[in-house]
Amino acid sequence: MNSDPACGGKRKQALYEYKKVYPRKVYGTFRKLKWAAVVVLLAIWHLAPFLRWDRGPGAPDQAILIDMAGRRAYLYNIEIWPQEVYYLTGLLILAAIGLFFVTALLGRVWCGFACWQTVYTDLFVWIEELFEGDRNERMKRDGQPTSVGKLLRKAGKNVVWAAVSLLTGLAFALYFQDAYQGVRDVFTGQASKATYGFMVLFGGFCWLLAGYAREQVCIYMCPWPRFQAAMFDEDSLVVSYEGWRGEPRGHYKKGHDFAERGHCVDCRLCVHVCPTGIDIRNGSQLACIGCALCVDACNSVMDRFGLPRGLISYDSVDNMAARSKGLPPRIRLIRGRTIGYVAIMGLVGSIMLYTLLNRSTTEVNVLHERSPLYVTLSDGSIRNGYVFKVLNMVRETRSFELKLAGVEGATFSAIGLPTEQDGTRIVLPVAPDAVADFQVFVTARRDALAGKRTDLQFLLTDLETGKTIVHKTMFAGPEQ
């Protein structure tokens, strides 16, 4: 908010005044690390759908695939069915705790180096520089009236941004279909409307957020900076300006002795390279994404003046305090909170591993027929109907033995299948990778029932492994 009492009592108010950020090119260790992150992460995102994994005949051979039509997700040798979506919850918990852990150790390293927004903004700014030059040239051109040259440069930049965005959208769509076929279909105009729709939708967001919204996403839209402060302590790495060494700041003039003044020469290079346009010399700020580009910038200035590096540093508060007093470095990676995060990750990971290793490949679902609940036969015995569903999660035909327990002398039959051993055993064949439905009728003597509801169990045994699943249900009968 801006108020100006000098304007004859009229208060001029602006809720939000946007100032475009023109980040300047910078060279140094952190810039190199950021480029490495951009290349590695973009390569993973774009190439992962093309990785293959042999699952045998009839199964998709894409290593990472979300098969919406087949209602299945594949991750190498792990196959997730819709009823196992809780694995996704486990993965999300692991990712969240992993992020807390990394933040406690390295501060906002996720925001500065690995976040989708950061990676694409880096790439888009690089493309912008190719067309419009570095900071000063871009600022100057934006201040000039529209010209053919200016329009051509901006159009060229937007065309390349759009191409990158559409490829990003395509990469997203390829996780939902065979990647090789998907690429062929897209470039021959044969892809589905959903694929083109995702390319435009996902790509459109990419173009808008990385091309135009940029730092505003981090400052105003993303909730993560608002609560990550809770994960910091005095041993977490943060980007900070060492005021005790830099102040009093001032432009360097010939003959200045740095022993008698601060080391900051007020060149503002740290501000000019900052992708969010802030001045780190004003202290820690929510808008600082921890990219450490200002560290590279300031180090280059310190080198020029023959001063020690690290006036802006990527360091812990404790270590900085130790350095300011000339004490030995103080770096503590093993602390209460980091141990806690590792313990939670270990626990969640172990539970997930255990459930994956002991995952059942069969599921049983039994629906008791409601109308009628039971039928009295001519000999006085009672009959109940059930729909018996067996899900075979293996890519081979399997045979199961079905038996009854709980109601003395009960017999049963299944439509279309022979009943063996006096009506007490049926063999159910189930096709590979499928759900089989069986209509089952159970008959019991009236004197064997406990009343309106008698407990009944179906025992389903895999004839190959001998594993038995017990499914509890009820047998309905008349009041005794």
By the criterion CB under 6 A, which residues form the site for ligand SF4?
239, 241, 246, 264-270, 273-276, 278, 280-281, 288-294, 297-298, 301, 311-312
Of the two residues 310 and 409, which places its CB atom closer to ligand SF4 in the complex? 310
Distance from C-alpha of 91 to C-alpha of 162, rounded to nearest angstrom: 32
For the bound state, the minimum distance from the C-beta of residue 117 to ligand SF4, rounded and expressed in Å, comes to 12
Smallest separation (angstroms) from ligand SF4 to the CB of 259: 16
Report angle CA 267, 248, 301 to the nearest 5 degrees. 30
Give the DSSP letter string of 124-185: HHHHHHHHH-SHHHHHHHHHSPP-HHHHHHHHHHHHHHHHHHHHHHHHHHHTTS-HHHHHHH
Q: How far is the CB of 40 from ligand SF4 (least distance, A)?
A: 20
Q: What are phi and psi of 264, to 5 degrees?
A: -75, 120
| Nearest residue (CB) to ligand SF4, 186 versus 301 | 301
| Paired tokens of 294 | 């200002």
- Beta carbons of 470 and 418 less than 8 angstroms apart: no
Task: Return the axis-axis angle of helices 29-47 and 148-174, rounded to nearest 10°.
Answer: 50
CB of 247 to ligand SF4, least distance (A): 10
DSSP code, position 11 = P
In the complex with ligand SF4, which residue's Cβ is closer, 269 or 460? 269
Question: In whole angstroms, how close is the CB of 288 to ligand SF4 at the nearest point?
Answer: 3
Specify the long-range contacts of residues 69-77, CB closer than 8 Å, at least 24 apart. Answer: 77/53
The distance of closest approach from Cβ of residue 316 to ligand SF4 in the complex, given in angstroms and rounded to an integer, is: 15
Smaller CB separation from ligand SF4, 193 or 253: 253
CB of 296 to ligand SF4, least distance (A): 9
Strands (E), 307-424: 312-316, 362-368, 375-376, 382-392, 398-405, 411-414, 419-420
Nearer to ligand SF4, 289 or 382 (CB): 289
CA distance 95 to 218: 20
Cβ proximity to ligand SF4, 34 vs 157, nearer residue: 34
Strand partners, 100: none
Tokens of 16: 């939000």
In this complex, which beta carbon is closest to ligand SF4, that of residue 63 or of residue 298? 298
